[in-house]
Amino acid sequence: MTTAFKGTALVTGASSGIGAIYADRLARRGYDLILVARRRRRLDGLAKHLREQTGKSIEVIAADLNDTVDLAGIETILRNGADIRMLVNNAGVGAIGPLLSSDVGKMCDMIALNVTALTRLTYAAAPGFAARGGTIINIASAVGIAPEILNGVYGGTQAFVLALSLSLHNELADRNVRIQAVLPGATATDFWETAGLPVAHLSGEIVMRADEMVDAALAGLDQGEIITIPSLPDAADWQACEAARQKLIPNLSRSVPAPRYRARVATTAFGKQPTMNSPERMPL
């Protein structure tokens, strides 16, 4: 297979599931790859397969992004890799249990991976991408806009990724840096097993195959989407949601409270003590 060289893509969480499929698709699109994950044996097997199938250069790095030394090593590669043109922030974990039954230490570990590691890698890649052009793909989740569905801390980490992606697009679009946040729903990967709920226990009506999810996400990238929700039937629904958010922005910071929050001035009888609604008690 001969495909025009597009630079190098670094993919985290690449040993299986969504990350491994991204690796396959990007190699077939002409990217050399740097594949990052904890499981070296799986990475080696994937790299061997992709080299044979695509002829691309595939480097593997066994790294735990919750380890500060390992994370710093990947940051250095992103800062110094002149050929790196794409970062796929895919590494992440989830949780399904409610807050009161969740271990706070595990929740903090999840924040460290889903938020801190993703942020540090993005910071490492962005300056070089701004200089030479590049693409950052952040794999988030639909719970970023529907945090009621699963564990609230997990939903919060995904809302962070969504907010960061929107902000980065606003900052970097004119610097030739593409930003895409992908918000899949339930996807058939080992994510669910790790989180404590095997995917077989979910309704088949809500679970998408991982290869179909990735192909949809890449189609969204090709179409210039900033936010891609692979299962959303009508893109106009997201556009309406975004339009409503944009409408809010001019009124989110004003010099006076909205009228509905101003205490109503009550007429008091002679000699009656002021009430919380009386002018004498209004904190103005």
Catalytic residues: 154
Which residues 6+ apart lie within 8 Å of 200 measured at CB?
Answer: none
Q: By C-alpha distance, which of 42, 114, 32, 118 is closest to 75?
A: 118
Which residues 6+ apart lie within 8 Å of 159 measured at CB?
Answer: 144, 145, 147
- The helix (H) or strand (E) run that includes residue 18 is helix 17-28
Q: By C-alpha distance, which of 85, 91, 173, 90 is closest to 135?
A: 85
Q: Could you give the CA distance from residue 192 to residue 210 in angstroms, rounded to a whole number?
A: 13
Q: Could you give the CA distance from residue 180 to residue 166 in angstroms, rounded to a whole number?
A: 9
